[in-house]
A and B are shown apart, each in its own frame.
Chain A
Amino acid sequence: KAGVTQTPRYLIKTRGQQVTLSCSPISGHRSVSWYQQTPGQGLQFLFEYFSETQRNKGNFPGRFSGRQFSNSRSEMNVSTLELGDSALYLCASSSGGPTAGYTFGSGTRLTVV
């Protein structure tokens, strides 16, 4: 079966712009979560959606937002980009619950210049 698909794979944006990243989970998975990976801070949890509802949120500013559609696909948006937002953004999907398996996508590498 198809894995978790993240688009685009690479993105270059200018400071002050906004960006939208997309994540298509494994078919049947209703939970999608997002993580930011940087060399300095490592892997940090952004937020998690389950059946179109945000169920949990990490400690990130309001510039970071997300949503989930009825088909479980998810998008995250970052507004007013800063240089520090340059990172690998990873999406994970799950059928739900900590005992379920989690599958990660290959990520979107965002570079802010």
Chain B
Amino acid sequence: AQKVTQAQTEISVVEKEDVTLDCVYETRDTTYYLFWYKQPPSGELVFLIRRNSFDEQNEISGRYSWNFQKSTSSFNFTITASQVVDSAVYFCALTYNYGQNFVFGPGTRLSVLP
């Protein structure tokens, strides 16, 4: 069975601090896809990043960076120099098939204080 764990329920930081959101996943599939989504108060899920199981290259995109490590089944997400607008619930998700069958983690609520 597939499972996604986000151990951090809530995180509060002060603006301009760096923050890392943890994600640990479980799957027996050799091919799978990992995602991070952001859910602001408006409700829609905003796509941030996708990685497949064959691409462990970590990347930086503006203030966002990702650390994918298959050896520890982790897919962590870091926001550098956080801003108030980053306040949202962040979800890590896993899928393996063409059915869009995402398995979501429970989410981490990030509050960035001014």
CA distance A6 to B55 in the complex (A): 34
Please count how many residues in chain A sit with their CB below 8 Å of the partner chain's CB atoms.
28
B35 to chain A: which residues have CB within 8 Å? 102
CA distance A92 to B93 in the complex (A): 14
Tell me, yes or no, whether A24 is within 8 Å of chain B by CB: no
For window 38-94 of chain B, which residues contact chain A by CB distance below 8 Å? 42-47, 50, 52, 91, 93
Cross-chain contact A107 with B43 (CB below 8 angstroms): yes
| Interface bracket on B | 20 to 34
Looking at chain A's contact residues, the main secondary structure is strand
- Which A residues, 42 to 72, have Cβ-Cβ distances below 8 Å to chain B? 42-45, 48, 50, 55-56, 58
**CA gap between A44 and B105 in the complex, in Å:** 10
The answer to whether B100 touches A48, judged by C-beta atoms less than 8 angstroms apart, is yes
Instruction: Check B44 against A56 for contact (C-beta < 8 Å).
Output: no
Q: Are B44 and A107 in contact (CB under 8 A)?
A: yes
Partner among B47, B50, B98, B102 whose Cβ is within 8 Å of the Cβ of A103: B47
Contacts of B100 in A (CB 8 A): 31, 33, 45, 48, 56, 92, 94, 98, 102
